[in-house]
Amino acid sequence: MTETYRVTSTQKNTASLIHTNTHQAINAFFPRKLKPICGDEVLVETLKSEYRIKKINRRQNSFCRADNRGRKQHIAANVDQIMIVMAVEPAPTRDILNRYLVVAEIEGITPLLVFNKADIDPLFFVNTINQYEQLGYQTYKTSHKDPNTVIELKQQLANKTTILAGQSGVGKSSLTELMLPEVKLKTGKLSDKTGKGAHTTSVTQMYHDATLNANIIDSPGVWEYGLWLMDAAEIASGFIDFDDYMGQCKFSNCTHIHEPGCAIMNAVKQGLIKTNRYESYLRIVDSMKYWS
């Protein structure tokens, strides 16, 4: 008999799973050649008293990041949404939001842009929120001190699988606790001495909230989020404001950096694409040289 489960985390040769309907939790073995990741849907058979993963169902998509050599590393599968959390303090590093958006667009994951710690400075993100709203993104201004600020965001989590993203200290755990009290995220408290996480685990874990039928994936990163090695065309495809001008450049292999007759650069000149987005595109393309 086989049953369908979802992977909540993986260890060496076993995976923690929850049943797709009953949400009952079990541990199962998997053969070496299968490489299940968090969020995978798997078929499990019972052998004597042991569970064994037989097959991984086709992935809808996967959230990825660069490993320490710039290779694409699959972190979590079948993700509906990415909740990108930024805060007044620590303020977002340059390009971090656009880097997350590139992955979201490429993988077909709906981004939710969360601007947290509004209590410290309610006006801090005004321009950013306006700009990204105009691009068509869903934005939320929140504070973990005011439950009213998360009502709308909480509704978005229902019946979906959402991965948390954002720098350490922006309030991912605090917001999750406020919205999904059943979910207890592992907290990587920062050590006073080193300023680094005391137990910096990089275990990606999916949590289920029965009340909202929401799945939340937490993937505490040891490094700042990095894009794997991609070419200019892939990066450009992650900038939705470039979409209208794609295919209109003089050269079909245009990288939109220096070529004559570039429709993207022309749109920037006319103010149709915001300069800060285009400059961010240039920096992201340039950052790829780090991997070569």
Ligand X SMILES: Nc1nc2c(ncn2[C@@H]2O[C@H](COP(=O)(O)OP(=O)(O)O)[C@@H](O)[C@H]2O)c(=O)[nH]1
The full DSSP string for 30-46 is: --TT----BT-EEEEEE
**Using CB under 6 A, which residues numbered 136 to 155 contact ligand X?**
143-145
The full DSSP string for 51-98 is: EEEEEEPPPS-EEEEE-TTS-EEEEEES--EEEEEEESSSPPPTTHHH
Which of Zn ion, ligand X, Mg ion, none interacts with 277 (beta carbon under 5 to 8 A by kind)? none
Nearer to Zn ion, 109 or 254 (CB): 254
Residue 221 makes contact with ligand X by CB under 6 A: no
- For Zn ion, the binding residue among 37, 96, 249, 285 (CB under 5 A) is 249
Residue 92 makes contact with ligand X by CB under 6 A: no
Contacts of 228-232 with C-beta under 8 Å, sequence gap 24+, read: 228/64, 228/65, 228/66, 228/67, 228/70, 228/71, 228/72, 228/73, 228/291, 229/66, 229/70, 229/71, 229/72, 229/288, 229/291, 229/292, 230/288, 231/288, 232/256, 232/257, 232/285
Cα(292)–Cα(206) distance, rounded to whole angstroms?
33
- For Zn ion, the binding residue among 262, 268, 284, 285 (CB under 5 A) is 262
Which of ligand X, Mg ion, Zn ion, none interacts with 170 (beta carbon under 5 to 8 A by kind)? ligand X
**Using CB under 6 A, which residues numbered 151 to 190 contact ligand X?**
166, 168-174, 187
Cα(76)–Cα(100) distance, rounded to whole angstroms?
14
Cα(27)–Cα(37) distance, rounded to whole angstroms?
14
Nearer to ligand X, 185 or 246 (CB): 185
Question: What is the C-alpha radius of gyration for the chain, rounded to an integer number of angstroms?
Answer: 21
The set of residues, in sequence order, having a beta carbon less than 8 Å from that of 124 and lying 6+ positions away, is 88, 91, 115, 118
Residue 78 makes contact with ligand X by CB under 6 A: no
Residue 264 makes contact with Zn ion by CB under 5 A: yes
Q: Given CA atoms 133, 139, 145, 149 in this order, what sign does their dihedral have?
A: positive
- For Zn ion, the binding residue among 212, 227, 235, 254 (CB under 5 A) is 254
From the CB of 134, what's the least distance to Zn ion, in Å?
22
- For Mg ion, the binding residue among 10, 81, 139, 173 (CB under 5 A) is 173
Which of Zn ion, Mg ion, ligand X, none interacts with 174 (beta carbon under 5 to 8 A by kind)? ligand X
Nearer to Mg ion, 70 or 197 (CB): 197
Cα(123)–Cα(132) distance, rounded to whole angstroms?
15
Residue 200 makes contact with ligand X by CB under 6 A: no
Nearer to Mg ion, 98 or 173 (CB): 173
Which of Zn ion, Mg ion, ligand X, none interacts with 262 (beta carbon under 5 to 8 A by kind)? Zn ion
Site residues for ligand X per CB under 6 A: 116-117, 119-120, 143-145, 166, 168-174, 187
Would you tell me which residues interact with Mg ion (CB under 5 A)? 172-173
